[in-house]
Chains A and B, each alone.
Chain A
Amino acid sequence: MISHYPYLIVGGGMTADAAVRAIRSIDQNKAIGIISQEPYPPYLRPPLSKGLWKGKPVQRIWCRTESKKADLFLGETAIALDLSNRRLYTDKEKTYSFEKLLIATGGRPRTLPFKDQSIIYYRDLADYYKLREITERAEHFGIIGGGFIGTEIASCLCELGKKVSMIFLEEGIGRRIFPLELSLRLNAFFEQKGVRLYPNQSVKDFRKEGKKEIIVSSTGQELVFDCVVAGLGIIPNVDLAKEAGIKVENGIVVNEYLQTSCEGVYAAGDVANFYCPTLGKRLRVEHEDNARKMGECAGKAMAGNPLVYDHIPSFYSDFFNFSYESVGIADGNLPVISFWNADYSKGVLYYHDSSKLMGVLLWNIPGKVPEARAILSEGVAADLQVLSHRISFN
């Protein structure tokens, strides 16, 4: 039997939720189906490495997508897409037909090539439950990776009173997005908080010995933990699209209306590669803001109201008592014009490529994302004098 959905969405994350809401703002009636390999309905992903560790209850993370009249098919994986017949096949031997399809399959965590895979590659709600349960009995945690997941989980575990070590490839924490000076300052801060750091190191080997998990670092050190968590980024889930013949290049390539190379088939969120007109380049972004905004734009296009996606993506992160937000591109290798207050607790960093501003990072300055976005849209020159008068610390 074939189930027909005028609107079909593959992937059950925040992008899918945003798309459903956008479709429903235009079309109240036609059926929407969501096929998600996760066993849970759509939920907010950021609290997994933030709020849930600071008292936010799990029942507050649900998006409640089903309340918008969407049928959820959970624990089901789309395995093949037939574009000429507009059909989708799943691992439960079910067939769905559609008029408009949204591919919002997100990504899967990058893993290390070891036989023993008891490492938690932290990504979804199941990982949260697993790590939470382990924290009941484990004391010493090893974190691989110094990016978003690494820093956030390290700070959450540290604040639970756990002993935490971090091992990462770069010289400093968050070095891929922060300039060296800030990244090194964070090293000192994390160390002050009791986190043991192993910078400039990779993981050469990993094994289990009894209840212990052992990392062998690239310098030959053996580091022994009760539990190892890794945050090494994600690989976009493009296989379904690629095998169907949809154009893929660092994600699923979409046009300005978020349509893929196949008419009526859209992609959005972490998996989509789109053109950002303000920054003048193609991007693939793995953050909440882009997931929501793209999902919304794709949903509108599916329901017959296509709009150019010209949103400048932003992201935010919190660890210990720091919180920062960024708009545009924050790339630790770009030149930066930075302004800090006397004790470096607040700062504004402007990333540029010598001629053009590419991104703005707001360090502990809440509520300024709209201003940062306006500066990027205006095409303000990457000039110290000009920028010194823009975003204030207050």
Chain B
Amino acid sequence: MAKIKCPFKASEIPEGGAKCIELEGKKIAIFCYKGAYYALDDTCPHEGGPLSEGFLEEGEVECPWHGARFSLKTGDVLCGPATKGVTAYHCQKIGEDLEVEI
């Protein structure tokens, strides 16, 4: 596990929004939801939709392509058509920066 600082400030992600970054060769979506930050694999395991462009609701992100839903906290799949979850990474705001544990 390594803690990696995101190359942007936390304030660059608006409330209810997300940003996709590549860390350690992985595409990771960082979300800001109700003032907290969450990090998940960006690629939906169903057909590869970009979760960073998904819709946030009730602590979940909905894939913009086919509507699979994942928990922001755990990455667990909560609704198909995906049949498995995505990896969730610990994401912490330190001052103005965001740190993701990979």
Q: Which A residues form the contact surface with B (CB < 8 A)?
A: 44, 51, 56, 60, 64, 289, 292, 316, 323, 366-367
Contact = CB atoms under 8 A, between A and B. Distances in A.
Interface of B: 47, 53, 55, 62, 64-65, 67, 80-84
Nearest to B82: A367
A316 B81 CA distance: 11
A60 B65 contact: no
A56 B81 contact: no
A292 B67 CA distance: 16
Q: What 5 A-B pairs have minimum CB-CB distances, sorted nearest first?
A: A367-B83, A366-B80, A366-B83, A366-B81, A60-B55
A236 B80 CA distance: 32
Given A60-B55, A64-B53, A44 B65 contact: yes
Contacts of B65: 44
9 contacts: A44-B65, A51-B67, A60-B64, A64-B53, A292-B47, A323-B81, A366-B83, A367-B80, A367-B82
Contacts of A44: 64-65
A1 to B, nearest CB: 34
Contacts of B83: 366-367
A361 B81 CA distance: 16
A297 B67 CA distance: 24
A323 B67 CA distance: 15
A273 to B, nearest CB: 23
Contacts of A64: 53
Given A366-B80, A366-B83, A367-B83, A56 B67 contact: yes
B19 to A, nearest CB: 12
Contacts of B64: 44, 60
Given A60-B55, A289-B47, 7 more contacts: A44-B65, A56-B67, A292-B47, A316-B81, A366-B83, A367-B83, A367-B84
A156 B84 CA distance: 28
Nearest to B65: A44
A306 B57 CA distance: 39
Nearest to A314: B47
A367 B67 CA distance: 14
Contacts of A323: 81
Nearest to A14: B65
B80 to A, nearest CB: 6
Contacts of A316: 81
A278 to B, nearest CB: 19
Contacts of A367: 80-84
A44 B50 CA distance: 14
Nearest to B80: A366
Contacts of B62: 60
A60 B47 CA distance: 17
A318 to B, nearest CB: 10
Nearest to A51: B67
B68 to A, nearest CB: 10
Nearest to B55: A60
B67 to A, nearest CB: 7
Contacts of A51: 67
Contacts of A56: 67
